[in-house]
Structure 1
Amino acid sequence: MSASTLERTARSRRSRTRSRSVNGRPALALSALKPHQYDLRPACASLICPDCKTWVPITGLQTKKPKLVPHDNGRAGKDAAVRCRLGSNRLVTVNVTVKKWQERLEDGGAETASRQATVVLPKAFSPQTDRTLRARAERTLAGRVADWEAVLPRVADADKNRRAVPAGDRPTEGPAVPLKTLHPKRPAR
């Protein structure tokens, strides 16, 4: 048998909703969505499923009951195919015209394009802060080690003064310090 050299093409079919099953949840109104969350162009009428956040085609846009296509909620080629139970076969109420959708989309684009990023100005440094930062940037590891070694005797003196106990059995202010350790005894039963 010889193979056919003609290229096979699929015959054109009527655009219709393939499944008769309908999701029990209330219909999803397009007017409740933001204009960037759905697309009403006839070639690719689709919207973002509010449950799984994936773009889903709308079938039967010209019929009485347009609805979302049964779809998976995972990323294509990345996650396991898990059917979106909440959004599949959900009815869609098309209560926005294509012209009105385009106007809203263009208005939103113009609004966001007119925004300007704010420039964050650095806070002015005081002369002391500026000197400190410059000195810190110029120091090397050997310089920092030398600084610590110069400070260590003063730190040791401060620790020794902190540990010193004042003369006498009483602090200058407050009650007398008990010299005998107290061990309270429990009453006998």
Structure 2
Amino acid sequence: MSASTIERTARPRKSRTRSRNVNGRPALVISTLRPHQYDLRPACASLICPDCTTWVPITGIQARQQKLVPHDTGRAGKAAAVRCQGSNRLVDVDVAYEIWQQRLQDSGVETAARRPTTVLPKAFSPRTDQALRARAERTPAGRVADWNAVLPKVADVDVARRQVPAGHAPLDGSPVPMTTLHPQYPAC
């Protein structure tokens, strides 16, 4: 049986980073972050890097000294690999796992309490309520009668709109057409 013909694109790396390099910046204190910005589960202890806002594993979570894994900024395969300034930064884990879990649950409950569960209708003013009731009580015959009462006023406005105002006509340029133009296109 032959070996797999699929080529790997990335070099396999060690399961744990054992670099002795330490970032010169001050240690990142976990208690200053919000509970949803870090994860203290032993299997995948990680946090959001404040510099590049990506999730980065924390090495040595049960050791004496914890720090962020060296990581790059940008998206894999889409941007140039530039080392983040937060790489190898020391992390001060001063929150116990149980306290973090309780804070995370409390924040979820608090967020759910801020979101409304029912949509309440807007209260009507008495005038709006009266207009809505009158509209609901109107019949088609009543609407036709209202339209017939308005028609003479509409006709007067149309006649006034068609009249040319008195005054000087423009000296240069063609006169304004008073009829609607309907261009005719040749048949194809």
TM-score (norm 2): 0.57
Cα distance in 2 between the residues matched to 1:132 and 1:86: 67
**What SS is found at the alignment partner of 1:108?**
helix
Query: Is 2:96 the partner of 1:93?
Result: no
Superimposed CA distance per residue, residues 9-41 of structure 1 (whole angstroms, 9 cap, x where no aligned partner)? xxxx895x4222222322110000011111111
Q: 1:123 to 1:74 in 2, by over 3 A?
A: farther
Q: 1:14 to 1:127 in 2, by over 3 A?
A: closer
Q: 1:151 to 1:47 in 2, by over 3 A?
A: same
Matches within 5 A, 1:121-132: 121-124=121-124, 125-128=128-131
Matches within 5 A, 1:34-183: 34-76=34-76, 79-117=78-116, 118-124=118-124, 125-128=128-131, 151=154, 153-154=156-157, 157=160
| Contact 2:51 2:84 (C-alpha < 8 Å) held by counterparts | no
Where structure 1 has 5 or more consecutive residues not aligned to the other structure, the ranges are 5-12, 136-146, 166-189
Amino acid in structure 2 at the alignment position of 1:97? A
Superimposed CA distance per residue, residues 84-114 of structure 1 (whole angstroms, 9 cap, x where no aligned partner)? 5222221111111112212212222233344
| Contact 2:73 2:83 (C-alpha < 8 Å) held by counterparts | yes
Cα distance in 2 between the residues matched to 1:123 and 1:29: 50
TM-score (norm 1): 0.56
User: CA shift at 1:65, angstroms?
Assistant: 2.6
Matches within 5 A, 1:15-34: 17-34=17-34
Cα distance in 2 between the residues matched to 1:84 and 1:35: 26
Q: 1:20 to 1:130 in 2, by over 3 A?
A: farther
RMSD: 3.9
Q: 1:130 to 1:50 in 2, by over 3 A?
A: farther
User: CA shift at 1:80, angstroms?
Assistant: 1.7
How many residue pairs get matched? 141
Cα distance in 1 between the residues matched to 2:162 and 2:19: 83
| Contact 1:72 1:82 (C-alpha < 8 Å) held by counterparts | yes
**What SS is found at the alignment partner of 1:99?**
helix
